[in-house]
Amino acid sequence: MNEVSHQRVKTNGIWLHIAEQGTGPLVLLLHGFPEIWYSWRHQITFLANHGYHVVAPDLRGYGDSDSPLSPTSYTVMHLVGDIIGLLDHFGEQQAFIVGHDWGAVIGWHLALFRPERVKGLINLSVPYFSRNPNAKFAESLIRTYGDGFYISQFQEPGRAERAFARYDYLTVIKKFLLITQTDNLIAPPGMEIIDYLRTLSRLPPWITEEELQVYADKFQESGFTGALNYYRVMDLNWELTAPWQGSKITVPVKFMVGKKDLGFEVSGVRQYVEGNIFRSLVPNLEIVILDGHHFLQQEKHQEVSEEILSFLSKFPAE
């Protein structure tokens, strides 16, 4: 088995850095915030060893991929376009897509816009929600949760960047990746979310200081603006996706979530995931709830890897 290799690929007018290993059916692993390809390090080798061609990009704005300057260059149209370009680069009509957090949002929209390019979809942490025709997404969240909500604070260009800059990059990464709280991520009045997040004095067993430093080093090079721009176009995404109002996700899907994920138990997310509306929007759906927090593919990497493989194994080899 070859080691993980790295290259930059031209797609949709930008260069994306990808990590790649293995041969066989193509599996794309899409990370979330604030991460890079490295979040899938366990799954890359595991799936490659089981006969898959595994590709994990740094999404636009992250790591060694390009970061367009304009926030409006980070809509779901751009993000899905990036992934279509990767499929075309590898000459593949279809691929398996695995997404976590913002990567899951991309996965849902890829399946929504171009279902013929998705062989199967595995998403972690973020379920598919039907577009509310009467309320823009970020606007409604701000109205519901107020200025202390992390998405509220990420809207204004520069605000979160200035707050993050009070800490070194490793501390910022630790504050996010090691979150253990299970309620919604809302700071008290007058406080920035980065100040509200705790810094753990002891690392959990699933990650090391050296692994966390990999993230810190990359964000020190790239900054956080590209990553934060995803949040700044949420309402533009709402406008752009109007043509798909009421559409369903028709591809086969496995959805995984940690029962200790942010807001899972308190925001009605569990009831939604286990209820009829989610299944009506995603008819070909399998749901797995694991005993973990938000960054499942690292915290519960063996379970997640095996759940991914069990889903992929259902599809006959071509």
Q: Tell me the pairing of strands 14-21 and 5-11.
A: antiparallel
Determine the Cα–Cα distance for residues 97 and 83; give it in Å rounded to an integer.
Answer: 10
What's at 225, amino acid-wise? T
CB 169 within 8 A of CB 161: no
Angle, CA of 69, 74 and 79, to the nearest 5°: 130
Contacts of 51 by beta carbon, 8 Å cutoff, 6+ apart? 22, 23, 24, 25
Report, as residue numbers or ranges, the catalytic residues.
Answer: 101, 231, 294
Total length of the chain: 318
